[in-house]
Every structure is written in C-alpha cells, then in structure tokens.
A = this chain, B = another copy of it.
C-alpha cells in the first residue's frame, strides 16, 4: 500500500497537469514560425537575414507552458527546441509556407519568422563563377506572403498574429501592415537599435483596438506577456 501510495504521488508529480487555471490554452492548437529564411542563389550562396529565432522560440515555449499543442516551424537557426513543442525545420520561405499549411487546422497562429520578401528568381544549379568584369544579374522574385495567405485561408486560425521588424516609423508601418495583411494583431519590433539577434525586444502591440507600447523586455518576458494576452483572447 505504501508502494502504491508512493507510485501514485510520483505519478501525480510527473504525469498530471498543473491546476486547470495555469493551462488556459489546453486543447488549443498553435502554429508558430521563427527565425530567418535562407533563399538560395546557387549551391553555396544564399540571401539571409539577422533573425536569431529567439523571440519565436520563446513564444512557442510560452504557449506550450500554457497548455497549447504547439507546432514550431523554424528557419535555419542554432537554437535547441523548446520542451513540449513539435519542431519542423525549414530553409526557404516556400518550405515554411508548406509547413504552416501542414500544421492546419490551428486555433492560434503567431508568425514571428523574418520571412524573406524576395527569393532569387532562378537558383543556379552550380556555383556561380566570377567571370572578369561581368556580374551575374541577381533577379529577384517575390516570395509567398505567409501571413497574408494565412489571414485569408479557408482554414484561418481564430487568432492570427504577425510580427513586423522595423527600423523607422515602427508603429505606422505596423498599423499599415495589420490592415494590409488582414491579421488580428501585429507585434511591432523596433530593430533600429540593432535589437535583432539581441536578448531584449522593445515591441508595440498593434490591434484593431489601438496600440500598446511595451517597455524594453527580455524576449522570454515578451513571450510570456503575449501568451497571456493570447490566452485571454481565446478564453
């Protein structure tokens, strides 16, 4: 009987969820994108951006901590996967779009990845050679707009949150993006101080109801606040 009691208590500690109030997103499915995308020029070269993936990884972790069933679609980053999160690794914007599509249906989408707006129109099958004075024409093509597509999708998640990294006119650009993309919220990230890749973020939460200015916060704290706001919205 004592053994049974110990077994039962161990089980309670390791298996049972925390009190219901702490898991307001239990039963909800979330898809989060994070990191940069890499757009190939040829087999060795690519266009990239300075996203570290840390903010998106932190949000995936924070949503999972509130009980959500989280799929994290990650561009090329060196971060470890957060606990209790299903991680799908991708490289290009087109691969990311497919992975987000595959993660539907979902209740919540938080598109944090810095998806390349453009890819190289024709990826070279072999390494481009430097050939005297002539430079290769690097013709660009527009990438799929994952946030806009998701906002118009026939399986649109109930809450679609986009991110905007801006160096200038942060809130104006973010408000315009909210309207243009058709998403519900934009988290506008002021990267004018070279915050991308750093430990802290200064963000503004732009919704139909207005703009909230959050102070400089560690990315983990931005993630927790955002997850709490999402939990309230989806209650």
Contact = CB atoms under 8 A, between A and B. Distances in A.
Interface of A: 38, 41, 43-51, 78, 114, 116-118, 126-130, 135-136, 138, 140-142, 165-168, 173, 191, 194, 196
Copies of this chain in its oligomeric complex: 2
User: Which of A48, A114, A191 has the largest number of chain B CB atoms within 10 A?
Assistant: A48
Contacts of A142: 130, 135
A126 B165 CA distance: 11
20 contacts: A38-B48, A44-B49, A44-B165, A44-B191, A44-B196, A45-B48, A45-B49, A45-B50, A45-B116, A46-B48, A46-B49, A47-B47, A47-B48, A48-B48, A117-B128, A118-B130, A126-B167, A127-B167, A130-B142, A135-B141
A194 B45 CA distance: 12
B47 A41 contact: yes
A167 B49 contact: no
A50 to B, nearest CB: 5
A37 to B, nearest CB: 11
B48 A166 contact: no
A117 B130 contact: yes
A50 B47 CA distance: 11
A165 B43 CA distance: 11
Q: Which 6 interchain pairs have the tightest Cβ spacing?
A: A117-B130, A48-B48, A138-B138, A45-B49, A135-B140, A126-B167
A142 B126 CA distance: 19
Given A43-B194, A118-B135, 10 more contacts: A43-B191, A44-B50, A44-B51, A44-B165, A45-B49, A47-B48, A117-B128, A118-B130, A135-B141, A138-B140
A112 B128 CA distance: 18
A142 B131 CA distance: 10
Contacts of A165: 44, 127
A235 B46 CA distance: 41
